[in-house]
Amino acid sequence: MSNAEAIIALLGALYLSECWIWVRHGSVVFRAFRSGNYKVVGPSSVLGNHIGGLVFLNPLPPFGTSFICHRFPFSIDTAGTSSLAVQSLATTGREQQKGKYVSFAAIQGMWASGGTILINGQPFASFGESELATEYANLLVTIWKAPIDRRKTALDAMLSKLTDTRTLRERVDVYRRSSRQLRITCHAMFALLLVLPIASLWFPRMRGYWMEWGIVTICCLAAIAAYFYVAHKRLLPGATTQRWKALITMVLTPTASVRACDALSRYILTTYDPLAAAALLLGQDAFRRFARRVMLDLANPAIEVDPESSREMRQVEESFRMRLSQALEPLLATKGYSLDEVMRPPVPDNPACLSFCPRCDAQFTVAKGRCADCGGVALHPFQAVAT
């Protein structure tokens, strides 16, 4: 392998490494390989661990778009909060979580520090990103500080904000307008860093213009940095650390600058509920499938994510699950579906199927039992549904 070929292989490997993003369990990526054709993707079970997994994004022009959404990370009711998340957006059951319950009456202080929410100085929930921890800490502080008789209203207002498709649509529109020039410049950078070097293998005379090539690349990098800074500040004004971290990464690793649109889009919907994003981004059938998964999971949760959970934790989890389910139901109507239509029991695939899992729809040839994939959810016999 010649030196030129080795450099191109290194650039290609560096670039491909930028096309993977790490996603925690409980989060989903709305990924479009081309404009407007979104699919819901969860963290890879093969390329992942107990915390999360990798998701591959479109490496080739036109690159597509990706947004990340997280399930609500803890449970709240009017008396207190538990660090257990009530949902699992995976087809498998909820992952093991270590729960912690705190009564609002016992809270003296609450703040975010280094990606973790601290209550009374003790870690309550971790997010891995300081901006996300701050967003959720602010939500929790709003509920905690509300007078007891107004806490239910504050909770409903919080869930209404998380499922507000109007502001979500506005945010996506702002992203599309703000990233237009950035996207064009990213394509130019892709050509400069990857297409032209490969072409130079066949047309060696191109290498004689390496200085001009370098100057144009530096100008392109500066333009990406400027467009990214302006768009990021407009969409995420408070995320200063995240903005500068992304900019420094782009300057030190120019292949990362080709993915600047992903670095911008992945954070802008993180505080919206995934079903709200699905209502905007997915087509009818894809939305119905995802909505069914979400609503069945809320109605038939995978059981016992923390064997040591206390009575208060179970109560707050149950209460928040019902409240979240009620908040999500109106989203079904925005796509023309009713709750009954979305949650309709399946029909047997063949006469040998005697029961089904009410959470994941898997069918079984036994009349009674439990679904191991869903953490032991009891199976429903088909006969019972028919009668």
Residue 40: name the closest of 60, 16, 69, 62 by CA.
Answer: 69
380: which strand partners? 356
Q: Among 359, 364, 379, 380, indicate the residue that binds Zn ion (CB under 5 A).
A: 359
The residue range among 82-90, 175-183, 236-244, 357-365 that interacts with Zn ion, by the rule CB under 5 A, is 357-365
Identity of the residue, 224 or 374, whose beta carbon is nearer to Zn ion in the bound complex: 374
Residue 379 touches Zn ion, criterion: CB under 5 A: no
- What's the min distance (Å) between Cβ of 347 and Zn ion? 17
Residue 90 touches Zn ion, criterion: CB under 5 A: no
Identity of the residue, 127 or 364, whose beta carbon is nearer to Zn ion in the bound complex: 364
Identity of the residue, 19 or 342, whose beta carbon is nearer to Zn ion in the bound complex: 342
Residue 374 touches Zn ion, criterion: CB under 5 A: yes
Return d(Cα 132, Cα 138) in angstroms, integer. 10
Cβ proximity of 354 and 366 under 8 Å: yes
- What's the min distance (Å) between Cβ of 257 and Zn ion? 43
Contacting residues for 323 by C-beta, under 8 A, at least 6 apart: 77, 155, 156, 159
Site for Zn ion in 137-176 (CB under 5 A): none
Helix 165-178 / helix 210-235 crossing angle, nearest 10 deg: 160
Q: Among 84, 125, 342, 360, indicate the residue that binds Zn ion (CB under 5 A).
A: 360
Residue 132 touches Zn ion, criterion: CB under 5 A: no
Helix (H) or strand (E) holding 279, with range, is helix 274-281
Return d(Cα 170, Cα 74) in angstroms, integer. 27
- What's the min distance (Å) between Cβ of 140 and Zn ion? 31
Identity of the residue, 28 or 374, whose beta carbon is nearer to Zn ion in the bound complex: 374
The binding track of 302-341 with respect to Zn ion, each residue x by CB under 5 A or -, is: ----------------------------------------
Question: In the sheet that 80-82 helps form, which strands lie side by side, from edge to edge?
Answer: 75-76, 80-82, 101-103
- What's the min distance (Å) between Cβ of 313 and Zn ion? 23
How many of the chain's residues bind Zn ion (CB under 5 A)? 7
70: which strand partners? 27
Helix (H) or strand (E) holding 329, with range, is helix 311-334
Residue 137, Cβ density class (10 Å: 0-12 exposed, 13-18 middle, ≥19 buried): buried
- What's the min distance (Å) between Cβ of 373 and Zn ion? 5
Q: Tell me which residues touch Zn ion (CB under 5 A).
A: 357, 359-360, 362, 371, 373-374
